[in-house]
Structure 1
């Protein structure tokens, strides 16, 4: 039986239709997907991300421990800031992916919060624990223990300020702060424009989650489900572990090198193949965008062709109302990666014309 977030009962009462996502029962929609989608880019939408993996790493040697296992700079990461990173094998195949936030506990110790994809918290915690020998580090999978509400849209900063009583509009992307509101609810607030829109993760105790959800709704946030989230995610060109990449992919293939890989940090697990790939100047395939000249999205695994030769494969695809076309994230082979390159896309109705697109699809989204 799928797990449920702390908001399940409140969401059911609001008319949510649920779907299984990585072993969690989460809202698919609340009856009007188009309204939910529009609320995100016009006003503010409210998503339940309680099913996203949450791993906490703390202790005097936590920074060095994570630094040696992931692709980005952790030792120099400032308190209150975050970064994106991969965890890899010696051959640079993906083991995990996370947005890592650094904070300071009440007793003055470093605490790192790893926000990862649905269903991946336990796997990432297990991977980290495998490399824990004698370091003064504690690893906890907190998935299910903490609620995670996500408010996204142009009105999100004002709405969060109204509910929490604090102005977080100046938080930069991937910055984190602690807050307590007038109802004595304690939050961790993370700025993350994951959908290419101003976005705030509000993490709080499970027992206060329904109260916070109701207050956000009262302030004007529109509850939204996974269908609207997926459309916005693809428009922003944001890949997610388990759908767009897994342990069969190299960290260099996923199109996140600029944000998630540091070439100056020193040694870490998987570094050698990453540096070798940089020195060669290419990888054999890369995750890119594809615009499909049809209203029909491609299915995951659908093939891409150029001059009748297979050159790629779709991982995720949706219809984008703002672009008035179907779009996809896809792995495209070297030699066919230039934006504007014409392709044929394998659809249920037959092959359809398409073209390679740089990411994000929409201007303003983080690339």
Structure 2
């Protein structure tokens, strides 16, 4: 199975540690090391580490790189500095999300787009196809990078032990470049995908194993994709391919903050997003918590109490910590009301649920 899959620099380390490895977006990745519940709770209560080296990195450089990234991205990219990264979306002409990503400014004329692993080749081809009218070079540099995510309430204290500057003032999406870390040169980003404090460490691919082993030796819990998914879902964070897609806009997918259609500069999908900002989108993403027994799964129908379909589940699971069955769903906008009861079609049963805030679906 794994022979045909891409592998991160840590693949053999995971094999040697008897991690359960699965296919994910064309990659052989660990889904769990001990158990999803134990790894999930470790991140919520202490600190865990994830290998996210499968994520893609696309570099854009040239005299018109700043103008180009604004043309292809939905956020106000003038807000990106070398010290501040930005979460944004790559949208199509209809405002649908081709991918959600983080953009880093490496220097005046060079930007790094960190994209979802399964979308890397698609994103690269799409970006490249729109670059011909700009003085820029677009390169897929994914093979040059390793990426580790150290997440949890103890993450900051742990990372602070090995850097020579104060981390206490770093806020979400703050970035430090050319940081010396255990003799390696890294980029340190105050970011993650768990809803907890923590950092993402960008390093040379060849340095991944040494950095990973350092954290494991300091009793940091190794975590797989399973815990990463339950953690992000509890925090109400979307997953592209489920909660976001090329037919779901930022306003429909719950990432309206990543769309700035009122700025002066033009970008792909701007007209559709401007209309949705001014008049509202027809759909919106909600958090749901099951009242009756049953787990909402991707694609399950969401119904009103009269049995009329009003949407569908985009992500769902049982919270490892609270035991509650939770999910995200996209529904008709006029059906939204916090606390409102609705039904989820779980196989042959219609199971009662209620609407909750997306970032409180496990509270």
Which interval holds the TM-score relative to the shorter structure?
over 0.9
2:250–2:258 contact (8 Å) kept in structure 1: no
| Equivalent position of 2:144 in the other structure | 145
Name the count of aligned residue pairs: 359
Distance in 1 separating the partners of 2:210 and 2:165: 18
Per the TM alignment, residue 213 of structure 1 is displaced from its structure 2 partner at its CA by 0.1
| Equivalent position of 1:278 in the other structure | 277
Structure 1 spans left out of the alignment, 5+ residues: none
4+ long deviations beyond 3 Å: 163-167, 179-183, 259-262
Are 2:42 and 1:39 equivalent residues in the alignment?
A: yes
| Equivalent position of 1:122 in the other structure | 121
Q: 1:255 to 1:198 in 2, by over 3 A?
A: same
SS in 2 for 1:247: coil
* TM-score normalized with structure 2 length: 0.93
Per the TM alignment, residue 71 of structure 1 is displaced from its structure 2 partner at its CA by 1.0
Are 2:250 and 1:254 equivalent residues in the alignment?
A: no
Partner residue of 1:303 out of 292, 298, 301: 301
- 1:78-122 CA-to-partner distances (Å, cap 9, x unmatched) read 221111211222221222221112222xxxx43212122221122
| Equivalent position of 2:56 in the other structure | 53
| Equivalent position of 2:18 in the other structure | 15
* TM-score normalized with structure 1 length: 0.92
SS in 1 for 2:72: coil
- 1:239-281 CA-to-partner distances (Å, cap 9, x unmatched) read 021222211222321111124435234321111111112221x
Distance in 2 separating the partners of 1:12 and 1:211: 16
1:45–1:151 contact (8 Å) kept in structure 2: yes
1:296–1:319 contact (8 Å) kept in structure 2: no
SS in 1 for 2:77: coil
- 1:15-63 CA-to-partner distances (Å, cap 9, x unmatched) read 2101111101111101222211111011101011111122121222111
Q: 1:66 to 1:242 in 2, by over 3 A?
A: same
Answer 1 or 2: which has greater helix percent: 2
| Equivalent position of 2:285 in the other structure | 287
Distance in 2 separating the partners of 1:362 and 1:113: 33
Per the TM alignment, residue 182 of structure 1 is displaced from its structure 2 partner at its CA by 5.7
| Equivalent position of 2:318 in the other structure | 319
Per the TM alignment, residue 345 of structure 1 is displaced from its structure 2 partner at its CA by 0.8
Two-structure CA RMSD over aligned residues (Å): 1.9
SS in 1 for 2:358: coil
2:314–2:330 contact (8 Å) kept in structure 1: yes
Are 2:100 and 1:97 equivalent residues in the alignment?
A: yes
SS in 1 for 2:298: coil
2:322–2:362 contact (8 Å) kept in structure 1: no
Q: 1:36 to 1:294 in 2, by over 3 A?
A: farther
SS in 2 for 1:41: helix
Per the TM alignment, residue 308 of structure 1 is displaced from its structure 2 partner at its CA by 0.7
